[in-house]
Structure 1
Amino acid sequence: MALFKTITLLCLLVVSVLAIKGEIRKFPDTLSFGVATAAYQIEGAWNASDKGESIWDRFTHTTNSIKDKSNGDFACDSYNQHKRDVEMVKELGVDFYRFSISWSRILPNGFSNKISQDGIAYYDSLIDDLLEANIKPYITLYHWDLPQSLQDLGGWTNPMMVDYFTDFAEVAFEAFGDRVKTWITFNEPWVVCIEGYGGISKAPALGMNGIAEYICAHNILKSHAKAYHLYDDLYRSTQKGRIGWSLNANWDHPATKSPADIEAAERAIQMNLGWFAHPVFSKEGDYPQVMKDRVARNSLAQGYRRSRLPEFTPEEIAYIKGTCDFFGLNHYTSTMIRSLTTTISMEPNFRDDVDTDCFYDPSWPEATSSWLKVVPWGFRNLLNWITKTYNNPEIMVFENGFSDKNNKDDVDRISYYNQYLNALLDAIEDGCNVTAYTAWSLMDNFEWLQGYTERFGLYYVDFNDPRRPRTPKASALYFKSILETRTIERNCNAQLNRNGTG
């Protein structure tokens, strides 16, 4: 804490000097700040008490897919160290902490007939500690860790999942809704369906490309809508909360100014972000027309009797439309998009349905994650695209961050945050209604297929020490200074040098 106080005083002094020079930008009072984590990535205690097995427990225990052969059995040990986690969140000075609930920790067999009192008690304690520290808890219901028992029944390809998920949501609303006022039903359903059902890079790794991801998305959209209506009908009036979900999106930028590339870039964002956003946020509802047309055309050419993209009934379209109180967004990077004119493959494939060439500009700076390039102007463009396409919704950014390998003096992460927060301010000045920004993540954690080889945390976690000590990185001090002053320098390099972090 002494280090935090020292850096805060230094930052206040720097801000006062730079403000005179006109180099400081102020965040609006309407913008709140937070940090985020996810249950499987930090909690550990994978079989503590009566917790059931999740698909990530099964996946990491039965495959050799994780880069460093690790798993989330122990992770950051947050199940036993959540009080330290709350201390860290408080040290940073954020307004809210976004975390997820492990479905199999509170419903060990996946169904609501058996509720774990130990699981409920764990999250009760975390929520109460956050509120005592004057930090708002934001809960994500589903962050990729489906109970294995439900995956054995087909997972998100099973239409009964709509009811199973709604039952899970109701247990959470009943247990925590008196204190939790912001709910996120699903985190990044695109990743769940594309990488877990169509592909093999996330659990359950079904690899049924071109078919399973569309069924998965169809059921998740209906699950989200039913949970939303449940909250709206039974809990909103007494609990006074809000509910939405968080969609991941890159900014898809045309590779050239040619009409073909411009159209291809628009098609790419419509068939990725719009796949989930259009049914909820557009005036007409349903999947984007370009998506319906292309998947139907390719399906018929491949010999299918109907489109591989399931259809909503008119009643389902109306039921899903408008089922978000805010537009939750996870954004990290951008891509370049080039038009293709490929022959339709006889094997179904989501990428062929989109039919674009996606690549990175070699001049873009790189993070440790191969997919993460530093393109702050893409963030601004994406926020403006959402604002224009969906009639200026309230946007809450629930993830944004940078990966490195093993660096406490993480100057590159500081530079990333500086550039992206400046882009966020640019978008707000453009007229985008952004009300929340969330750094991913609070601390280093289990990064899915990459195990512990890629780090996103503001706090360094020593995974070689069974005590899992957490240490603030330079970026934590920088982030705290931003929150303390609610200002940011247009270029962070001078401030880094003054503060001795660069």
Structure 2
Amino acid sequence: MFPCDFAWGAATAAYQIEGGWDSDNKGPSIWDTFCHQDKGSRVSGGQNADVTCSSYVMWEKDLQCIQQLGLTHYRMSLSWARLLPDGTTKNVNQKGVQYYNKVINDLLLRKVSPMVTLYHFDLPQALQEQGGWKSSNMATLFDSYARFCFQTFGDRVKLWITINEPYVCAKLGHEDGVHAPGVKEPGTAAYLVGHNMLRGHAMAWHSYDTLYRSKQKGAVSIAINSDWAEPLDPSDAEDVTATKRYLAFTLGWFAWPVFVTGDYPEIMRAAVDAQSKKLGYGGDRCRLPTFSQDEPAILGSADFFALNYYTSRKVKPRRGSGQMLCVKSDQDAEDVMDPSWPVCGVSWLAVVPHGLRKLLCYVKETFNNPEVYITENGFAQTGPLQMEDSERCRFYQDTINEVANAIGKDGVNVRGYFAWSLMDNFEWADGFSTRFGLFHVDFSDPERTRSIYRSGREYAQIISKYRSQTSS
């Protein structure tokens, strides 16, 4: 049984749905730059999100979708560059403030609670030109932006996410270079970026706790993405140890400092230091930074656990390429898919609903039984459009059943579930070729018509069923 106040939601992100990339004084973000450079070769089909779902001018259509699903909550993000075009509070764009005020007010008028993400991958380009997340000063700039948002919208927003998926920002954006800002500095930049994101998150949490919590009475966290991982051979000690490293370098990288010790997992630091020594890197310099005692504490800087889960992996030690300076070599773990797991849409997304239940139990046991919001979870579709998406329907039924079991049988304190995504949108480097929506968006239509998938109808039925059970 789900709690009576369980958050039934769907999620989106500003850059992926809004469009209006240069409308009404909005500044460019690193994703605008990333998509526009190299004649669009960085994104599938040379696509960009200049228009995408056009939610900046068609918000009412999104609102109709939200109401049609019967959501109690809607997870959205704010475009930093739309609110503060140069990234600083010296230049506030009132058009951006008006837009988000309208979105939040319209939601509340219809008894839908917003969960607002401050940063979902789209750093203002002006701040990237000052060093971006590699700069230690970025944490302070993020805190200033967060305070502006708390002050401007916090009287109505009760659930905040500071940063979405810092692992993805750090590794895909600054090591692999396949996400904005397209930096390829293996083995160094990702750790620095992740460190500054954690510092910025902690500063923002403490700002909220000190300046706004008593009056606004909200809650703040950071959204951490993780696969579930288990040993390829549970009887093989090396597979077991590799799995511990795998989880330490993904979930643990950001959850351990916030929920356990205030520092990175020891297994992670030991692995990075050992690889540095092996490769003769930098003498006494540590690639994995240390937190300063003079800054706001990382430990305890979250009021709930925000978890993005998509898939699972079996893990064994990594063979070969051990002489490379990179996160993957430090991790020394190879992840593989069980051939019995179906794969949806994109090659990496094995459909493993029971992995979510196992991950939820791991979070409960490892991170002191926190309140958990599943802030993203979804099923991809590619190729020919299928409005009668029976496989996605089964995915949602199975997944929500696993969440119910985690609550009822395992005692995990799950407080909400947000499907990714409300509608088809710009899926980063995949462009529009990958569709996660509960609503299909016709990107060939200037009106960006939204049409509900069968999975959307069935998700609405699931929500209605459980809400009626808890209210009776």
The verdict on how the C-alpha distance between 1:419 and 1:321 changes in structure 2, with shifts beyond 3 A counting, is same
Q: Deviations over 1:126-184 (max 9, x none)?
A: 11110111100110000000001111111100001011101111111111111111110
Give the CA deviation at 1:313. Answer: 3.1
Report the structure number with the largest CA radius of gyration. Answer: 1
Q: Which amino acid aligns with 1:32?
A: A
Measured against aligned partners, the alpha-carbon deviations of 1:78-104 in whole angstroms (never above 9, x if no partner) come to: 000111111111111111100000000
2:444 match: 464
Identity of aligned residues (%): 43
Look up the match of 1:249: 226
Deviation string, structure 1 residues 289-343 (Cα, Å, up to 9, x no partner): 0111111111122222122111123455x71100000000000100110124657
- Indicate the SS of the match to 2:44: coil
Q: Which residue of 2 aligns with 1:421?
A: 400
1:486 and 1:129 mapped to 2: Cα distance? 24
Q: Distance in 1 between the 2:244 and 2:355 partners?
A: 14
Shift of the 53–343 alpha-carbon distance from structure 1 to 2, 3 Å rule, reads closer
Q: CA deviation at 1:419?
A: 1.2
Secondary structure (helix, strand or coil) at the match of 1:80 reads: coil
Report the alpha carbon displacement of residue 448 of structure 1 after superposing the two structures with TM: 0.7
TM-score (norm 2): 0.95
Q: Deviations over 1:425-477 (max 9, x none)?
A: 12112111111100000000001111101100000100000110101110111
1:218 and 2:198 aligned? no
Aligned residue type for 1:199: D
Contact kept in structure 1, 2:139 and 2:196, CA below 8 Å:
yes
CA distance in 2, matches of 1:311, 1:174: 31
Map of 2:25 onto structure 1: 50
The answer to whether structure 1 residue 328 and structure 2 residue 306 are counterparts is yes
**Which of 28, 32, 37 lines up with 2:7 in the alignment?**
32
Q: 1:355 aligns with which of 327, 332, 337?
A: 332
**What residue in structure 1 maps to residue 83 of structure 2?**
106
C-alpha distance in structure 2 between counterparts of 1:259 and 1:301, whole Å: 23
Corresponding residue for 1:95?
A: 72
Equivalent pair of 1:300/1:307 in contact (CA under 8 Å): no
RMSD: 1.3
Once residues 111 and 285 of structure 1 are traced to their aligned partners in structure 2, the CA distance between those partners, rounded to angstroms, is 29
**2:44/2:431 contact within 8 Å kept:** yes
Q: Aligned AA for 1:261?
A: D
Measured after TM superposition, the shift of residue 215 of structure 1 is 0.3
Q: Distance in 2 between matches of 1:85 and 1:482?
A: 20
Residues in 1 aligned to 2:387 and 2:209: alpha-carbon distance in whole angstroms: 44
Q: 1:409 — aligned with what?
A: 388
Q: TM-score, normalised by structure 1?
A: 0.90
Task: Output aligned runs, 1:130-145, within 5 Å.
Answer: 130-145=107-122
CA deviation map 1:97-118 (0-9, x unaligned): 0000000000011111000000
Match of 2:213 in 1: 236
Deviation at 1:28, TM superposition (A): 3.3
> How far apart are the structure 2 equivalents of 1:438 and 1:452?
21
Q: Give runs of aligned pairs for residues 38-187 of structure 1, distance below 5 A.
A: 38-63=13-38, 64-187=41-164
User: Residues 487 and 82 of structure 1: is their aligned pair in 2 closer, same or farther, counting only changes over 3 Å?
Assistant: closer
- Alignment correspondent of 1:473: 453
Structure 1 position 344, deviation (Å): 3.8
Aligned-partner Cα distance in 1 for 2:5–2:401: 16
SS of equivalent to 1:336: strand
Q: What is the CA–CA distance in structure 2 between the aligned matches of 1:430 and 1:67, rounded to whole Å?
A: 41
- Residues in 2 aligned to 1:268 and 1:91: alpha-carbon distance in whole angstroms: 40
Partner of 2:180: 203
How far does residue 377 in structure 1 lie from its aligned partner after superposition?
A: 1.6
Please tell me whether the aligned partners of residues 124 and 176 of structure 1 are also in contact (alpha carbons under 8 angstroms): yes
Report the Cα distance in structure 2 between the residues aligned to 1:266 and 1:226, rounded to whole angstroms.
29
* Alignment correspondent of 1:279: 257
Please name the residue that 2:316 is paired with. Answer: 338
Paired position in structure 2 for 1:392: 369
What is the CA–CA distance in structure 2 between the aligned matches of 1:357 and 1:114, rounded to whole Å? 46
Aligned to 1:319: 297
Check the 8 A contact 2:73/2:113 in 1, yes or no: yes
Say which SS state the counterpart of residue 297 (structure 2) adopts: helix
> Hey, what does 1:20 align to over in structure 2?
none
Residues paired across the two proteins, number: 460
Indicate if the aligned counterparts of 1:56 and 1:204 stay in contact, CA closer than 8 A: yes
**Structure 2 residue matching 1:486: 3-state secondary structure:** helix
Contact 1:301 1:344 in 2 (8 A): no
Letter in 2 for 1:151: Q
**Deviation for aligned residue 1:29:** 2.2
Which stretch of structure 1 is more off in the superposition, 203-212 or 301-310?
Answer: 301-310
User: What is the identity, as a one-letter code, of the residue corresponding to 2:157?
Assistant: V
Structure 2 residue runs of 5 or longer lacking an equivalent are: none
Check whether the contact 1:342–1:355 (CA below 8 A) recurs between aligned residues.
no
For the residue of structure 2 that corresponds to 1:138, the secondary structure is strand
Deviation at 1:285, TM superposition (A): 2.1
Offset, 1:487: 7.8
Distance (whole Å) between structure 1 residues aligned to residue 111 and residue 4 of structure 2: 17
Q: Given residue 301 of structure 2, which amino acid in structure 1 is its aligned partner?
A: T
Which residue is 1:5 aligned to? none
Write the deviation string for residues 254-279 of structure 1: whole angstroms up to 9, x where unpaired. Answer: 10021211121111101211000000
Q: 1:323 and 1:57 mapped to 2: Cα distance?
A: 31
Q: 3-state DSSP class of the match of 1:246?
A: strand
> SS state of the match for residue 79, structure 1?
coil
Flag structure 1 segments of 5+ consecutive residues without an equivalent: 1-25, 489-502
